Each structure stands twice: as C-alpha cells, then as structure tokens.
Structure 1
Amino acid sequence: MLALSFGLTAALVWAGHDLLARKLTQGAMLLPIMLVVFGAGSLALAPVALALGDWTAMTNGAISVALAYGLAYALAGGALYRAFSLAPVRLVSPVIGAFPMLSLVIAAAQGQPVTAGDWISVVAIVLGIAIVATASREDGPEGYAAPAAVAMGWAGLSAAGFAMSFALGQEAARQGAELPVMLIGRVAALAAILGIALLRRARLAPAPGQAWLLVLMGAFDALALGLVTAAGQLPRAEYASVAASLFGVLTVVLAAWILRERVRPLQWLGVLTVFSGIGGLGLQSLAQGG
C-alpha cells in the first residue's frame, strides 16, 4: 500500500508541475525552460543525496542504469513540454498519463507477478484516459498551436519515455541506492538538455519573470520523481508508476478550475473511471499485504 501512496502523492505534485508547464510553454522557447527546471531539481536534490545517499552501494551496473534512466526522463520531459506548448491540457495530459499499461508490461517482462485484477484496474485507468482524449477531438481550433494529431504524437512519446524512465529508475534503485540514483539521473538529464542547447546555440536564459516559477516546477518535478524512484525498494513497486499516471487526469481537473479550460460531461466520466481503477489497485494492494 505504501508504493501506491507514493505514486498518488507524486501524481498530485506532477499535476501542479504540469499546470505551470501549460501556462509557461505557450509561445515560449522550450530549452531554456527545461534547463532551469532540470537544473533547479538537481540543485534541490544534491545536498540531500550527497549527505544521506548510500554511495557505496552504487555499482558500475547501477550507475549505468541510472544514466539511462536520466536520458529517458529527459526525453519524457522534453516531449511533455512540447505537447503542452501545442494543445490544451484536456487533450495531451490524458495521453501522457496513459503509460501504466506499459509499466505493467515492463514489470511482467522483469518476472514480477501481474494478476488479472491488476490488468482490469489498469484497463479502467487507460479507458478513462481514452474517454477524456476522445471527447477532446470535438474541440475547436482555438488553443491549439498545431494539429491535434501532432500534439498527441508528442504526448505519446512522453508517455513511452515516462514508462521507460520509471522502470529504469526503480531497477537502478534495486541495484544501488535511491538518492544516488535520483541525483545521477537528474544530472544526466540536465547534461543532455544542455548539450542539445549548446549544439543548437539556443538561448539559455528563460523569459523575464519566469525564473522563480520554473524553479518551483523543478522542485515539484524532483519531489514527484523521487517518490516514484524510491518506491523501487517497496513491495509492488509498479503500483507507484501506475498510480502516478493519475497526474494526467488531475491536471485536467486543475486546468478546468484554475485555467478555466472547458471539460465536457463525458470527460468527467473518464475522470471517474480513472479514479475507479486507482481504487481497484489500492484494494488489491491491501488484500496482498503490500
């Protein structure tokens, strides 16, 4: 049950992050935004990881997996920001949150037990996300900087990146230790983004007035990712990844409330369906003593 709690908390934190991402990425250069967000997250994590992390547990294999984890997360984050810059939250967030099926497939490939109840609950989550996404196809062109299919393609790439990064992060934590893995991963992601920015000779400074909000986004991102990564040492670690997928629907709710984005009744049905799937996972976790 603790892994599920970690995932749900991460979902709430990521929803706040994504709401800010939608607000700040519209019409903005993405590389400066990513540099500040990833850099702030690294700086927030570094003192804790260096002081409390079990660095002696980090084998060469754990370090290699942690580096791959960071690169996968850079891909997921970059695709996420690109998707939010192109389309409203109600379209791209549910697609980005559709990675739990991939997470359980990866868990099954790793030899971890996946029950029929797990699949039923995850199907409910994915179905709810699909309802929200399908209902969004009736939207008008306002609020879209590109065709909806393009935005959904970026969102799908982000979902695949998240599924892979969560799996790699949890595997690295099993082989080594959580805090060192998190710091190595974030530094690798930051280095990848900085390398791209330098190759493209992109501007590195964010827009005036955005810096403090981007730092807050970085802190949110580091906390949420840390919760999912730390779950790698807990029973049923895949529950954290699945529950974290709730951030997509929570972002839709927050966007409707704060950004005044319109959500149709059918989309709210999708939200309730996702919550039902998360509740099913919680009941199974309790029954199994997780």
Structure 2
Amino acid sequence: MDSDLYVILFGLASAICWGAGDFSGGIATKRSNVYGVVLISQIIGTILLIAAALLMAEEIPDMQSMFWGGIAGICGCFGLLALYRGLSIRKMGIVAPVAAVVTAAVPVVFNIFTEGMPAGYRFAGFGIAFVGVWLISGTENTRNISLNDLSFPLIAGIGFGFFLISIDHVSDKYILWPLVASRLASVGMLIGVHILKKQHGLPTRNLLPLVILAGILDTGGNTFFALASQAGRLDIAAVVSSLYPGVTVVLAWIILRERIRLRQWIGILASLAAIIFISG
C-alpha cells in the first residue's frame, strides 16, 4: 500500500477520534468546570498510554524522542487553554474555524521549508480543506471581525500546530512513550493553572463517563496522528486530521438533533473533495 494512503487513513482516524472527543468533552464542559474536564480527560489519557506502552512492551525511547514528546505536550496545552479561553469570551463561529485552519496551516508552511512544496493537486486539496473546515466550524455571522477576536484562536492554532510538528520529530521507532511524555507535560501545566487560577471544580460523578470517553478519544486521535506523521509527509497528516470539526458537527446532528446549516453541508462536501485531491 502507498505510504501516502497510510497517512490519509491514519489522518482520517485521527480526525474521527478528535472530532468525537470534542463532542463528548463539549457536552461535559457545558455542565461542569472546563479546567476540571480537561485535566481529568488528560489524566485518563496518560493512564491509558502508560498501560498500552507496558502491555505492548514498547522500548523506552531515547531522550530526544521524550524531549519532543514533552515539547508537544506543552504546545498542545497552551493551544488547549487558549482555545477554551477564546470559546468562553469570543464568538465561537470565529474561534473554532480560525484555530482549526491555523492548526493545519502551521505544519504545511513548516513542511514547505523542510521537505519542499507538495504536488500541485495536493496543494489545491489543502486549500479546499481549509475552506471546508472554515465552513463547517462557522456557526455565527463572522462579519466585522476585529484583531482582538482573532488573538486567542491564533494562539490556539499555533500551539496545536507546533504540537503536530513536535510529534513528527519523534523517532519512527516509538509511538506510545513519547505520547506519555506529552501527556505528563500537559497534565503538569494544567495542575499549575488549576493552582494559580484556583479552578478547583471537578466533574460530577454522572459526567465522568463522558469525560473518560473524551480522554480515550483524544488519546486515540493523538496516537493515530503520530502514526500518520511517521508514515509520510507531515503536511498531509496535519491537513487530513484537521477535518475533525466535521465529525463533531455530524455527531451533534445525529445525537443532539442540531440543525446543520447549508454552509456546513457545503463544508462537509468540500472536505470530502479535499480528501480526494490529497489522496490523488
């Protein structure tokens, strides 16, 4: 099987996990403290990754791979905090698509400098994917956007983008232990934020299944992305995995009966078209 096809398949699996995880976590955060939900889900993911690494007897990686895993965790945590902060005080219809598009764009630009330009049809697919993600995520009128509206989603997207780049720097021989290092770094940061901001609220018992599910799915998304980035080009992996908002929207439509607007349907179709271009 062509290596780029593996990248696309793993990238799609990552998008499905991240999209479903955002859906589960989103429901939980509407009923509980955001920081508590994120912290518990990250701890759950850390436990799962350690257990998986031990069960699969994965070799302890070199310090460089663990270092890049830790850097990824710090970048991802910055992105996560900026995203949730932006969602809480800015227009969701601006924050979500800008963060998703910047997340994909950062590795694409990085890869142009490190591995050269992708094929023309793939570059066209990247453009279509960016537009698709914007259309899918937009839920409000995004006219009259100010620079202040863009600050948190830009920080979130840059943080997530460098998370993807850092994970790509991990040695191809390792998957799970560098992700453990990533989670330990992010959990440490979140505990620090909890202490500094005095955010002590934790999810209630009835919300724990949703929080645990969000942690499992987010861990799956990270693992599949690591596999995708090791299988081939980082830019392809980043763009395909960035289609995760479509999964969240479709799940909300199926489970919560939320209406999908015309622009979101167009975005979903554009995302499917982008996958065809990128895989061509």
- TM-score, with normalisation over the residues of structure 1? 0.83
User: For residue 181 of structure 1, what is the amino acid of its counterpart?
Assistant: P
Describe the SS at the equivalent of 1:172. coil
Q: Residues 257 and 155 of structure 1: is their aligned pair in 2 closer, same or farther, counting only changes over 3 Å?
A: farther
Is it true that 1:123 corresponds to 2:127 in the alignment?
yes
Distance 1:237 1:111, change over 3 A: closer
Paired residue secondary structure (2:115) = coil
Q: Give matches, 1:232-251, under 5 Å.
A: 232-251=229-248
Seen in structure 2, the aligned counterparts of structure 1 residues 213 and 87 have a Cα distance that, compared at 3 Å, is farther
Distance in 1, Cα, partners of 2:96 & 2:273: 18
Q: Is 2:1 the partner of 1:4?
A: no
Name the amino acid aligned to 1:186: R
Contact 2:107 2:161 in 1 (8 A): yes
* Whole-angstrom distance in 1 between the partners of 2:193 and 2:175: 27
Which residue of the partner structure matches residue 160 of structure 1? 158
Offset at 1:67?
1.2
Secondary structure of 2:141's aligned partner = helix
Taking the TM superposition and a 5 Å limit, the aligned residue runs for 1:13-24 are 13-24=17-28
Distance across 1 between alignment mates of 2:146 and 2:247:
21
Q: Decide which moves more: 161-170 or 103-112.
A: 103-112
Counterparts of 1:18-97 in structure 2 under 5 Å?
18-26=22-30, 28-51=32-55, 52-55=57-60, 57-58=61-62, 60-85=63-88, 92-97=95-100
1:82 Cα offset (Å): 3.8
1:30 shift after superposition:
1.6
- The CA distance in 2 between the partners of 1:117 and 1:102, in whole Å, is 19
Corresponding residue SS for 2:169: helix
Aligned sequence identity (%): 21
1:222 alignment partner in structure 2: 219
Amino acid at match of 2:163: S
Cα offset for 1:81? 3.6
- Which of 207, 220, 232 does residue 210 from structure 1 map onto? 207
In the TM superposition, what whole-angstrom CA distance separates every residue of 1:65-112 from its partner, at most 9, and x where no partner exists? 221111011122233444555678766543332132222111122235
Q: Which runs of 5+ in 2 are unaligned?
A: none
**Does 257-266 or 130-139 show the bigger shift?**
130-139
Matching of residues 138-153 of structure 1 within 5 Å = 153=151
Letter in 1 for 2:120: A
The number of aligned residues is 273
In 1, distance between residues paired with 2:16 and 2:153? 19
1:97-139 alpha-carbon deviations (Å, 9 max, x no partner) = 2132222111122235522222211101112233345673179
**Map of 1:287 onto structure 2:** none
CA shift, 1:27, in A, is 6.0
The whole-number CA distance in structure 2 between the counterparts of 1:47 and 1:119 is: 39
Runs of at least 5 residues in structure 1 that lack an aligned partner in the other structure: 140-146, 284-290
Is this contact kept in 1: 2:32–2:202, CA < 8 A?
Answer: no
CA RMSD, Structure 1 to Structure 2 (Å) = 2.7
In the alignment, which residue of structure 1 is the partner of 2:194? 197
